[in-house]
């Protein structure tokens, strides 16, 4: 290989390397959450009502051949599924929060009440999630039932706000 070919290969390799590093840096440092362009469908949490029902445990405990091990196993499996739901709720909150922040920025005029509401919702959601995770630990041990309605309520409220602000932003853009 000639010196020119070696130099060309080195430059091409360096370009590929730096393009790859730029792509990775952009993915790492962007504020884009996975799926952030979409609004989370809160309807996915409706099965929680059935999953959290204590009636199943009561029914199973009255059946012939049922023992405490079966009940523990059912509770353990449900707790694992509930943990997955809590993680998904956290991701949905992040998506909705990001959508509200972006809509607020793109609204074109200062809306300090939305900024305050975003901070308040973030605080309430984190507090509610911490309580839900603590209750999940108790649920795992069979101490008391778990109620995730407060977490779902926060998500539903945020989803409504995203819809409302989206319509306001679209209406303002069409007038301009």
**Spatial distance between the Cα atoms of 22 and 25, rounded to a whole number of angstroms:** 5
3-class secondary-structure state, position 170 = helix
Query: For the segment 111-157, what is each residue's pLDDT rounded down to a tens digit?
Result: 777 778 888 888 888 888 888 888 888 877 777 666 777 777 777 77
For residue 153, the tally of other CB atoms under 10 A from its CB is 13
Answer whether 139's CB lies under 8 Å from 145's CB.
yes
Instruction: Write down the pTM of the prediction.
Output: 0.60
State the pLDDT confidence band at 34, using cuts at 50, 70 and 90.
Answer: very low
- What one-character DSSP code corresponds to residue 42? G
* Look-up of token digits 């975003």: 118
Answer whether 158's CB lies under 8 Å from 96's CB.
yes
Q: What is the mean pLDDT of the chain?
A: 75
Average pLDDT over residues 26-46: 52
**Spatial distance between the Cα atoms of 163 and 166, rounded to a whole number of angstroms:** 5
């Amino acid at each position: 290989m000639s010196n020119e070919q070696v130099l060309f290969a080195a430059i091409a390799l360096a370009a590929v390397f730096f393009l790859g590093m730029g792509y990775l840096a952009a993915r790492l440092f962007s504020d884009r959450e996975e799926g952030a362009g979409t609004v989370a469908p809160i309807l996915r949490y409706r099965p929680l009502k059935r999953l959290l029902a204590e009636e199943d445990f009561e029914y199973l405990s009255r059946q012939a051949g049922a023992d405490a091990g079966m009940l523990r196993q059912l509770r353990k499996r449900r707790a694992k599924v509930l943990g997955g739901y809590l993680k998904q709720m956290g991701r949905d909150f992040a998506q909705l929060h990001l959508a509200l922040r972006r809509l607020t920025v793109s609204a074109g005029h200062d809306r300090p009440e939305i900024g305050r509401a975003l901070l308040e919702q973030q605080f309430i959601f984190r507090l509610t999630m911490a309580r839900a995770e603590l209750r999940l630990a108790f649920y795992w041990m069979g101490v008391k039932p778990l109620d995730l309605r407060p977490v779902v309520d926060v998500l539903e409220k945020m989803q409504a706000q995203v819809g409302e602000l989206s319509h306001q932003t679209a209406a303002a853009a069409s007038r301009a």
